[in-house]
Structure 1
Amino acid sequence: MNWKARLLLLDGLMPSLGDDGRLAWGTLADAAEDAELVFLGLDRSDGGEKPCFAAVPGEGDASPRMANPQLWSLMATMEPGDLALYGGARSITDWHARHRFCAQCGAPTSIAKGGWQRGCESCGAQHFPRTDPVTIMLVEHDGKLMLGRGKGWPEGRFSALAGFVEPGETIEEAVAREVFEESGIRVHDVSYISSQPWPFPSQLMIGCHSHALNTDLTIDETEMAEIIWYSREEVTAALDGDGPFVAPPPHAIAHQLMHWWISR
């Protein structure tokens, strides 16, 4: 053991916060004797180089983030650096917890390369953490923005539409398909704005903007509870906390995309 090494303290996949609201850290002695450890990087904040690790939990969690209101609330209080570090640690340790067996032959796998790979001793297959691309898109028409409330979401909470990129698709094609499937709206002039990793369980949110050809909605009621067109003034008021809907929290890319839209 390296006495300088630090262990990110997690409760399963939940973050542990100290009295100061920051991520809590321990030493490698805090890890279970048989724990698999993932190398997160080096902490150079005090001029030294302290290796940082996280332990793989006994179980993973592939449920959507709305299924855990406590985690959602904790994330809203975390400062950006801690939020980014926790998101990366959650994604990689969750992947390990859910990939203990080889997808090729079914034999047990073991951690390798500091936690950034799993290897199968039976057939020799190498498995690497995956990231799933998801488009999240603003849809605009004549100065209004189309926002939706997904099935199971709290009343009044709206966000940008989103969906996974399917095999063989470009980002632009994924935006057009997802918007049409969920709203019945055809879009054009799709452009990229920004991206954000999203650890539920391990996605890359690709923020885009598009223009709608019309406003006549045909809502996919199996996925969406509501879809509404909002004016610039309504979106601005919602981001200020006093609008006709509850906006996504600041740490979500949808919030930043809305700010980008109203500032254009």
Structure 2
Amino acid sequence: MRNAETVTFGGSALDRAAHLRADPAQLAKLRESGTVLPIWRGKPLFQSGERLAWMAPNSPVLAHSGEIVFLGLDEGVPRFAADISDWSPEAGAEAVEQGFFDPSAQRHPSLSDDHSFLELRGVMTALTARDAELAATAKAVLHWHRSHGFCAACGAESHSAMGGWQKNCPACGAHHFPRTDPVVIMLITRGNRVLIGRNGNWPEGMYSLLAGFIEPGETLEAAVRREVLEESGVQVGAVRYLASQPWPFPSSLMFGCAGEALSDEIRIDPEELEDALWINREEMVLVVTGQHPRIKPARRGAIAHFLIANWLADRLD
């Protein structure tokens, strides 16, 4: 797919400068001249709700810093991210992971009112490609630190290394690295129709493409066929890869695939889906433009929306 890397969170070509991660002295110097993105309980700091708000290393916002991760060089500027989840705002302290979407905003008393911590899903389409990649990287790696504080081999507390990209166990010597969960998301078509479904936890009326985690020992193609069959009862034949998207909610890599359905009948698994249906191109145009009376589209910025839009425009080559 020729325009695959135009998907949100993809294609900015950030210089991650991995060769610098093993040099603590050099990283310390870079921090002095660099900037830091504060993240509070999964929410990056934004300015005016449309661009990342970078702080100087001595900013009072960073007084509650926990883990600090070196993100890379942004046009030569050293970029870091810091977890400040221990900071407690006076109000609006709902955790982003507790619902489908957290619309609340938190403001730090040392910053102007146009600075706020926001859920990334709500502003991701307003960001530049570079800001989107930096935010996704920071959010995913810091979430990994928050959820992997102890060695998976022996249970001892692990210590950060390599600029935040590794954790070492002082007890057994094991090394641990940020994890990414591979997920397939499928544009399943049959003639002029595409298969969509909805999870019961989603906002009312929202539908999207079917998706599921890839299991150990499984190819992308096999995962597509298995997940579609398990969730909807639809059999899939030929499968091809289209595009991928880092999805830091909390730490997935979405593999967008196209699949040709071999059957029409839908038999949903109620444990997986609340509903599934076939929808033709003409009706899908109404969905993505917000004019359908019943069906709401996948969120803009998500690869599901990206794949459907390119399917409608005949740009899947």
So what's the TM-score if we normalise by structure 2?
0.76
Q: Report the 3-state secondary structure (helix = DSSP H, G, I; strand = E; otherwise coil) of the residue aligned with 1:219.
A: coil
Correspondence for 1:66: 100
Say what the alpha-carbon RMSD is for the aligned residues.
Answer: 2.1
- How far does residue 62 in structure 1 lie from its aligned partner after superposition? 9.5
Change (3 A) 1:254 1:64: farther
CA distance in 2, matches of 1:231, 1:33: 52
Question: Which amino acid is the alignment partner of residue 230 of structure 1?
Answer: I
State the alpha-carbon separation in 2 of the partners of residues 219 and 126 from structure 1. Answer: 42
Return the alpha-carbon distance in structure 1 between the equivalents of residues 69 and 244 of structure 2. 25
Letter in 1 for 2:229: F
- Residue 53 (1) aligns with residue 80 (2): yes
Is residue 170 of structure 2 the alignment partner of residue 121 of structure 1?
yes
Alignment match, 1:197: 246
* Conserved 8 A contact 1:13-1:57: no
Supply the distance in 2 between the matched residues of 1:158 and 1:6 (Cα, whole angstroms): 39
CA deviation string 1:91-142 (max 9, x = no partner): 0011011111100011111110111100011110000011111000011112
What is the aligned partner in structure 2 of residue 155 from structure 1? 204
Of Structure 1 and Structure 2, the greater strand share is in 1
1:219 alignment partner in structure 2 = 268
- Residue number among 302, 306, 310 corresponding to 1:252 in the alignment: 302
Q: Counterpart in 2 of 1:35?
A: 66
2:303 & 2:99 partners in 1: Cα distance?
14
Equivalent residue of 1:130, what SS? coil
Q: Which amino acid aligns with 1:68?
A: D
Whole-angstrom distance in 2 between the partners of 1:103 and 1:57: 25
Instruction: Write the letter of the residue equivalent to 2:82.
Output: A
Tell whether 2:68 aligns with 1:19.
no
Change (3 A) 1:64 1:239: farther
Residue in structure 2 matched with residue 239 of structure 1 by the alignment: 288
SS, match of residue 66 in structure 1: coil
Measure, in 2, the Cα distance between the counterparts of 1:93 and 1:151: 29
- Which residue of the other structure, out of 138, 153, 176, is the alignment partner of 1:104? 153
Task: Give the match's secondary structure for 2:223.
Answer: helix
Which amino acid in 2 is paired with 1:56? Answer: D
Give the stretch that moved more between structures: 64-73 or 226-235: 64-73
Cα distance per residue 1:45-73 (max 9 Å; x no partner)? xxxx33111113558x8948725355232
Q: How far did 1:249 drift?
A: 2.6
Structure 2 partner of 1:133? 182
Gaps of 5+ in 1: none
CA distance in 1, matches of 2:122, 2:44: 11
Q: Which has the higher contact order (CA 8 A, sep 6+)?
A: 2
Work out the percentage of aligned pairs sharing the same amino acid: 42
> Within 2, Cα distance between the matches of 1:12 and 1:146?
35
CA contact (8 A) 2:186 2:209 kept: yes
* Matched AA of 1:252: A
Aligned pairs (5 A) from 1:63-102? 63=97, 66-70=100-104, 71=119, 72-102=121-151
Contact 2:40-2:83 within 8 A present in 1 as well = no
Counterpart-to-counterpart distance in 2, 1:202 and 1:164? 12
Cα–Cα, structure 1 residues 33 and 67, in superposed 2: closer, same or farther, change >3 Å? closer
Amino acid at match of 2:309: H
Aligned twin of 1:210: 259
Q: Distance in 1 between the 2:145 and 2:209 partners?
A: 30
CA distance in 2, matches of 1:260, 1:34: 42
Give the TM-score, by structure 1 length.
0.91
Q: Which amino acid is 1:50 matched to? A: V
1-side partners of 2:152 and 2:100: how far apart?
Answer: 29
Tell me if structure 1 keeps the 8 A contact 2:151–2:169. yes
